[in-house]
Each structure stands twice: as C-alpha cells, then as structure tokens.
Structure 1
Amino acid sequence: MISTGIIRTAVGIIGNVISFGLFLSPMPTFHTIVKKRAVEDFSPVPYLATLLNCMLWVVYGVPFVHPNSVLVLTINGIGFFIEALYIITFFIFAPRRLRLKILGILGAELLFVGVVLGGVLGGARTHDKRTQIVGILCVIFGTAMYASPLSVMKLVIQTKSVKYMPFFLSLVSFLNGLCWTAYSLLRFDLYILIPNGLGALLAAVQLILYMTYYSTTPKDDSKNNVELPKVTPTSTSDSLTAVTVEN
C-alpha cells in the first residue's frame, strides 16, 4: 500500500517541475519586448513581486533559518536569477520614468530583505522561531504576488481583450496552485495552503475571463504574449519544497 508520505513526495516533485516551467513562462513576452525594443503596456510589477518572493524564500531555506531545505535554496535561487534577468531586460527597454520606478521598488525590496535577515538573526534564537517569522512573511508576500494579476484582469474586462492574459499561463498557474494546495492538505501546512489556494482561485478566475473575452479579442491581439509569472515558492517542514508562486 502506498503511503501518504510517498504520494505527498510525488505531488511535490510534480509541483517543482511545474514551478520551474512557470519561471520560464514569460520568455515569449521578453522576446517580443527585445524584438520591438519597447515594453508597451507590459508591467514590471509581477516580476518585481516574484523577485521579492524568491528572495524571502531563499532566506527561509538557509540552514540557520530552516534546516534541511536544500530545494528551497535551489529552486528559489534559480527563480531569483531568472527574474533578475527579466527585470534587467525590462529596465533596458523601459522609458526613463518607468526605469526610476523600477529602481525605487528594487531598492526598497533589497533593503527590506536585508532588514528581515538581520532581524531574524539578531532577534530569534531558535530555528522554530526563525521559521515562523520568515514563513509568515513569505505567506504575506506570496499572497500579494498572487494578487498582482488583478490589474491585468481589470484591463481584460475594460478592453474585452485577452492579449495580456494568455490561456496557457493561466492554465499552468491553476494546475500549479491546485497541485500545491493538494500537497499542503496531505500533511497540513498552512504556509503552503494560503498562497497556493488563493493562487488556484485567481487562476481559475483568469481562465473564466479568458473564455468570456476570447471571442471579442481582435485577431492582431490574440498573440500568445506571456505577461504574468505567478510563482509562489512553497516550503514544507521537511526537505521538500517548491515554488508555486507563481504566476
């Protein structure tokens, strides 16, 4: 008989694969940006939010915060590198005013993560306490990251066009959130359940919007440009971790 632990491990591995795919999903968007040498109506906010989320989960996964979390460091380290490349590309082709906004947000994020790391090391003496503090922050900012597509969903409703909310990304985001929600329920983990449950719900709404407004999207707007990476890194009390965001 297959144990719950084995099933949970299998679900976690699937979640890791999907999460890595989500990190790579905005590549067609940035191919378009480089080709046109302009960011058009694409927003840097989802990438900045994902970058912050990855940094927090890297802090969560270091041995002096949450031991035996190698996969937290690896997948979120990779995610940090990929998101940094996206932001650099966005910065190069953005207008001056938007560049200043990106620099301001990025500086605030780096300062925040530095304060969190210093505060946890100086104020929390046990692994459990450090895990709790950083884990709560990861849930808060992971949830905020999942909420970042709300502006694009509003744009879809206003323009009756799904140009900036492609079907594939919404579908994979839904499957990713659903996978990690199931994972968290197999051995209850609130840190995983909250952001991924919300992510699955928002992705489901995006799928509904896509089906609703697909027929009203002009043909020249129907290109599959990927805009929103929704990846929320998730972690567990053991060594298995992934990113759901997450987008």
Structure 2
Amino acid sequence: MSGNDTAILAFKIITIVTTIFMRISLLPDFQRMRKMKSTGDMSVLPCVLLYANCYLLCWYSYAVDNIIPLFLTAALGVICGAIFSVFFYRWTAHKRDVMRVFVISGVIMLLETIYGLTALLGWTGQSRSSTGTTLGVLVIISSVGLYASPMATIRHVIQTKTSSSMPFTMGVVNVINSLCWVVYAILVGDVFILVPNASGALLGSIQLILTCIYPRKAPSDGQIISAVINDPRAGSLQSSCVEQALLSVVINSPAQESRENRKSGAGDSANFVALRSPVG
C-alpha cells in the first residue's frame, strides 16, 4: 500500500468519526429545547437542510461509487436530520411556518428522486459520470446552504447582541469536520467534495467569530418579569368594570433557588411566583 493509499484510508476513518459528531451536533441545543419546551430563537433550517442535503449526497455518492465514507455518513445525516426536525416541530410555536419549510424541502427531495432514478437508469441519455457531475453541482449548492443555515439569523444576532439563535456546538464540529473532508477531497481529487466543505469551514469560522463577539445571554438571578392578566372573577353581570391582577415572576438560577428555599415564604404575595431558570 502506497503512502497516498494509507493517507486516504486514514482520512476515510477520520471523516467518518467527525461526520458522526457533525450529524449529532445539534443534540446539546435540542436538550436545551427539551428543558424549555421551546425552540427559542433557533431556525428550523439547520435541521431541514441537514436531511435534505444528506439525501442528495446519498444519490451523488451512489452515482460516483463512494459508499464508504460518503454514502454511509450521508445516510446517517438523513436519519438524524429527520429526527431533529420532528422534535423541532413538536416544540416550536410557529408550526405553520415550519410545516411550510417541510413541504418545500419535500418537493425538492421528490424532484431529486425523480432525476436520480431516471438518470441512473439511463432515461436522460446521460452517462453515469455525467450524472455524477450534475448531482455534484447540486451537492455544492445544497451543502453551502446547509453550512450557511446557522447564519440565517445573523441580522437578528447583531440586533439582539446574542448568538442564542445559532447552534454553537454545530458550528465548532462543522469547522473540524469540513477541514477533514477538505483534506480527504484533495487526496481523492474530488472537487465536488472539496468546494462545499471549504465553504463550510469558512462559514463555520464566521459563525464562531460571531458567537465570541455576541455570546449567549442567560437570564440573570432574580430577574423579574411582570404581566397583567384579566381576572376571570370580574366577569359577573353585577360588575361594570374589568378587574386586573398583576402577576410577578422571578426567574431564579438553581443556586439562588437553593438559597430562597431556606428562607421563610410567609411574606410572599398570592400573586408572586418563583420559577427556576432552565439554564445553568
């Protein structure tokens, strides 16, 4: 085995490992969503583009006969992206908008399926090599969209001065994984793997820079949120005015909650509620 073959084998293994981490890199963000029962400011695009891009990669890798590592890691991406998308839909408050994105991605994947089948069966008059080239161009476009998806809220990040809408772990793993694929692409001479991953490394680095400039903000101890609610008892026919009740909510960290539990609650108002912060 030559030195080049050894290097290719080594980077096949490395890319498989780093890509597995890339596929599950949204887990910390989804763990946070599970605790909060909300998707917060995060966009659904990273989830959708993960399975949509990997689905296209499955067709490309089959066309160019790159089963390991490309087809294997792409199939894993389809599964992970689909699972993440289901849970995102469960916790999001914008189900109609998310469903619209799902439908659009489904239509695109259907078109990819039709083209992939007809081309590989020879009905388009293309050779297998030509089909691989066409799919490769589509992979570049789709992959750049995947890597740029966390940047979709860049204006929101700059306006709010917080990167909470950007999946941080995904950004870190993305840079490492993309660089590994760049080296592998150079070794095997595949420009359709090289270009999107070079773009991914660049866009991922920009995301990390923004995360450092605008770090996530956690609720501060004792942060008070007040809300005015209608008192349902004010709906009697004898009353001509609508009474209102003021509800004060204090968000406590676990440490502060422990301190508060040791204090007497005799002085608390009936309209006072202390909540534990989901962060920390």
- Coarse TM-score class (shorter-chain normalised): 0.7 to 0.9
Unaligned runs of at least 5 residues, structure 2: 221-280
The CA deviation at 1:206 is 1.8
Note closer, same or farther for the CA distance 1:175–1:142 as it changes in structure 2 (3 Å cut).
Answer: same
What is residue 146 of structure 1 aligned with on the other side? 147
Q: Which has the higher contact order (CA 8 A, sep 6+)?
A: 1
What is residue 225 of structure 2 aligned with on the other side? none
Instruction: Return the letter of the residue paired with 1:104.
Output: V
* Equivalent residues, number: 217
Structure 1, 115-124 or 191-200: larger mean CA deviation: 115-124
**1:201-212 aligned within 5 A:** 201-212=202-213
What is residue 91 of structure 1 aligned with on the other side? 89
8 Å CA contact 2:182, 2:193 repeated in 1: yes
8 Å CA contact 1:91, 1:102 repeated in 2: no
Note closer, same or farther for the CA distance 1:99–1:186 as it changes in structure 2 (3 Å cut).
Answer: closer
Q: Does 1:19 align with 2:16?
A: no
Unaligned runs of at least 5 residues, structure 1: 222-247
Residues 191-236 of structure 1: per-residue CA shift (max 9 Å, x gap): 111101111111111222222223xx43439xxxxxxxxxxxxxxx
What is residue 110 of structure 2 aligned with on the other side? 111
Instruction: Return the letter of the residue paired with 2:81.
Output: E
The structure with the larger Rg is 2
Instruction: Return the letter of the residue paired with 2:191.
Output: L
Instruction: Return the letter of the residue paired with 2:28.
Output: P
Q: CA RMSD in A?
A: 2.4
What is residue 270 of structure 2 aligned with on the other side? none
**1:54-73 aligned within 5 A:** 54-62=54-62, 65-67=63-65, 69-73=67-71
Larger relative helix fraction: 1
The CA deviation at 1:54 is 0.9
3-state SS of the aligned residue for 1:148? helix
Note closer, same or farther for the CA distance 1:166–1:125 as it changes in structure 2 (3 Å cut).
Answer: closer
**Aligned partners of 1:191, 1:124: CA distance in 2, in Å?**
22
Larger relative strand fraction: 2
Give the TM-score normalised by structure 1: 0.77
% identity of equivalent residues: 28
What is residue 185 of structure 1 aligned with on the other side? 186
Instruction: Return the letter of the residue paired with 2:182.
Output: T
Runs of 4+ aligned structure 1 residues displaced above 6 Å come to none
The CA deviation at 1:3 is 0.9
